[in-house]
Structure 1
Amino acid sequence: MAQLCSLLTLCLFFLVPSFLSPSFAGVPPSAPVSAGTICKSTPNPSYCRAVLPNHTTNVYNYGRFSIRKSLSQSRKFLKLVDKYLRKYQPSLPTSAIHALQDCRFLTVLNIDFLLSSFKTVNGTSTTLSLVEADDIQTFLSAILTNQQTCLDSIQSIASTWSIRNGLSVPLSNDTKLCSVSLALFTKGWVPKKKRKATWKPRNKQRGFKRGRLHLKMSSRTRSIYETVSRRKLLQTTDDTDEEVLVSDIVTVCQDGSGNFTTINDAIAAAPNNTNGVNGFYLIYISGGVYQEYISIAKNKKYLMMIGDGINQTIITGNRSVVDGWTTFNSATFGKF
């Protein structure tokens, strides 16, 4: 099992703001403070002052307002992208269409993240648990990444200046507002000990020990795994922190001997919105060259993929910018 190297761990990295000034950091989140004062310690003070209400309130109300406004602006941006797609698509080059489609996809995802974030902050005016705070920081930071990806795609379509200019400014403003939202969220809802920390993985990455992976599974699942991988599983230990629980397994084999012949079919058949209590849903991908573009939807949770090893299980594609694809859509593997 030493060759077991195709386990795909998909993580969202979040940015913990480090721009909270000493004077602002000493103000309790529940204390009234002017918009001008609070904006001095955000990444874009002038933009912050322009969008926040001009009255005195606490960080929680400012934070809820900024996230709600981010949601409103994202919805407006989505309508703008749809307008361009409807009005100009017949005359647009392929690269511009792909750029707009990237932005549409990412904006829909951002709206979902903002809805989840607002639901959390709207329900409390106190610091959250570390896990809850981690989730919202991840969402807001992912939005910033998505907006930058969209902006990169838009700026690359130099031949369509009307679209580029029409989308760049509102997108830039959306990014500024989201960074303000992240700063206010960090001040109001994130525990102090986490606020000062650098990024760390949300959970301990269990399972790897001396380069090997301990999988805990039923006898049926174990038999399937050992047959398809031609490897014996390591003996489990009494330390459950060293084991990765597997709930079920399906196999992908190009010769038809497995449950599926393509990776995408196996992902589509995986259960939706699992909570992970019973472990990971394991997709074992036998050796071969898979010419596929893999997109894992957000409702496909707790998936684990294992291949036969380096230069054995290969996922590849041939999309390139030269052919009109954006960098975003040229990736062979992604989680959305």
Structure 2
Amino acid sequence: MKASRHLEVNQTSDIKNWCSQTPNPEPCEYFLSQKLNYHSPIKQKSDFFTISKQLALERALKAQSNIISLGPKSRNAREKAAWVDCLELYEYTLHRLNKTIDPNVKCSQTDAQTWLSTALTNLETCRAGFTELEVPDNLLPLMSNNVSKLISNALALNKVPYTVPSYKHGFPTWVKPGDRKLLQSSSAPKANIVVAQDSSGNYKTIKEAISAVSSQSGSGRFVIYVKTGTYKENVEIKLKNIMLVGDGIGKTIVTGSKSVGGGSTTFNSATIGK
């Protein structure tokens, strides 16, 4: 009994010591004490960083489960709109958190900072939707569940120093040579699909073209040429390697009409969202 109590005291002290290095020690201590057993002390900062990300992921999964259960309880269209956004945003958050933990995914310190920051921003966007639509925020405690604080802790532990962005030929170095050639070309790249309101193309709306691309295969850029016209639609792109090309300013116009006043959140009101 004495040995067991001694180990428990040491573990509690160890947890307090590590969590004191974070901006939100209370949830860190609580969830960490639930996670660790007496035979798994934290030996170094990299281990603590990994555990902190795991804690955030576990609580995010729990919060997502709570969000799903709240859907049928939405009392009106505005509450439903905010809920739908949060459901989607938590999917993105879980995806980003998983990428920072998955041993099969290449994740530099800078990548971790970017993905954790994105995950945290998603949760703030979820919260903002309730505020914008003036929906009572009594649901938010179930939907947040200390996730934001735990992600903030992981961000604080990562501490990536600022580096000046590097450029090559006027483009950020992360832009691949093939993409740079597409952007620098004086003539429009060859289109895979043409959108035209006068029926002279493959489709009359951008949404139809995006939907068609989802069934295509290949890893290169898929170019969608949108001819002159005013396209009154909100376009959401959930695919990679899509390039939209128009006929120029004032010729190819894409315009949506969603707004907070009309019952949409800012997150869901973008004319073109990626």
* Same topology, TM > 0.5: yes
The residue type equivalent to 2:230 in the other structure is V
Shift of 1:117: 2.3
Shift of 1:135: 3.6
The residue type equivalent to 1:196 in the other structure is P
State the partner residue of 1:324: 263
Structure 2 Cα separation of the partners of residues 168 and 154 of structure 1: 12
The residue type equivalent to 1:178 in the other structure is I
State the partner residue of 1:59: 45
Is 1:43–2:23 an aligned residue pair? Answer: yes
Identity of aligned residues (%): 32
Against the structure 1 CA distance between its residues 109 and 247, is the aligned structure 2 distance closer, same or farther, given a 3 Å change threshold?
farther
Total equivalences in the alignment: 249
Cα contact 2:234–2:255 (8 A) shared by 1: yes
Q: State the SS of the aligned residue for 2:268.
A: helix
State the partner residue of 1:179: 152
Against the structure 1 CA distance between its residues 80 and 248, is the aligned structure 2 distance closer, same or farther, given a 3 Å change threshold?
same
Q: State the SS of the aligned residue for 1:330.
A: coil
**Greater RCO structure (CA 8 Å; 6+ sep):** 1
The residue type equivalent to 1:303 in the other structure is I
Is 1:203–2:174 an aligned residue pair? Answer: yes
The residue type equivalent to 1:233 in the other structure is S
State the partner residue of 2:254: 315
Structure 2 Cα separation of the partners of residues 266 and 254 of structure 1: 12
Of the three residues 242, 245, 255, the one matched with 1:306 is 245
Cα contact 2:191–2:225 (8 A) shared by 1: no
Task: Give the alignment's TM-score, normalised by structure 1.
Answer: 0.64
Structure 2 Cα separation of the partners of residues 250 and 305 of structure 1: 10
Q: State the SS of the aligned residue for 1:63.
A: helix
Shift of 1:97: 0.8
State the partner residue of 1:154: 130
1:277-334 CA distance string (max 9 Å, x none):
xx4221111121111111111xx21111121111211111112222221111111111
Q: State the SS of the aligned residue for 2:202.
A: coil
Alignment map for 1:1-336 (pairs within 5 Å): 34-53=14-33, 55-86=41-72, 88-89=73-74, 92-120=75-103, 132-159=108-135, 161=136, 164-168=137-141, 170-171=143-144, 173-184=146-157, 186=158, 195-198=160-163, 200=165, 203-204=174-175, 213-215=183-185, 233=187, 249-270=192-213, 276=219, 279-297=220-238, 300-335=239-274
Cα contact 2:32–2:55 (8 A) shared by 1: no
The residue type equivalent to 2:42 in the other structure is T
Shift of 1:79: 2.0
Shift of 1:48: 3.0
Cα contact 1:296–1:334 (8 A) shared by 2: yes
RMSD: 3.3
Cα contact 1:151–1:168 (8 A) shared by 2: no
Identify unmatched segments of 5+ residues in structure 2.
1-12, 166-171
Structure 2 Cα separation of the partners of residues 254 and 302 of structure 1: 24
Cα contact 2:133–2:265 (8 A) shared by 1: no
Task: Give the alignment's TM-score, normalised by structure 2.
Answer: 0.76
1:181-235 CA distance string (max 9 Å, x none):
2333x26xxxxxxx322474571476779xx9434xxxxxxxxxxxxxxxx639x
The residue type equivalent to 1:308 in the other structure is D
Against the structure 1 CA distance between its residues 134 and 287, is the aligned structure 2 distance closer, same or farther, given a 3 Å change threshold?
farther
Against the structure 1 CA distance between its residues 199 and 266, is the aligned structure 2 distance closer, same or farther, given a 3 Å change threshold?
farther
Against the structure 1 CA distance between its residues 202 and 153, is the aligned structure 2 distance closer, same or farther, given a 3 Å change threshold?
farther
1:81-139 CA distance string (max 9 Å, x none):
222211x23xx22111100111011112222222232213xx69xxx7xx744443332
1:32-79 CA distance string (max 9 Å, x none):
x94444434433244333333474322232222222222222222122
Identify unmatched segments of 5+ residues in structure 1.
1-32, 188-194, 216-231, 235-245
Structure 2 Cα separation of the partners of residues 138 and 275 of structure 1: 27
Cα contact 2:221–2:243 (8 A) shared by 1: yes
Cα contact 2:193–2:223 (8 A) shared by 1: yes
Structure 2 Cα separation of the partners of residues 165 and 97 of structure 1: 14
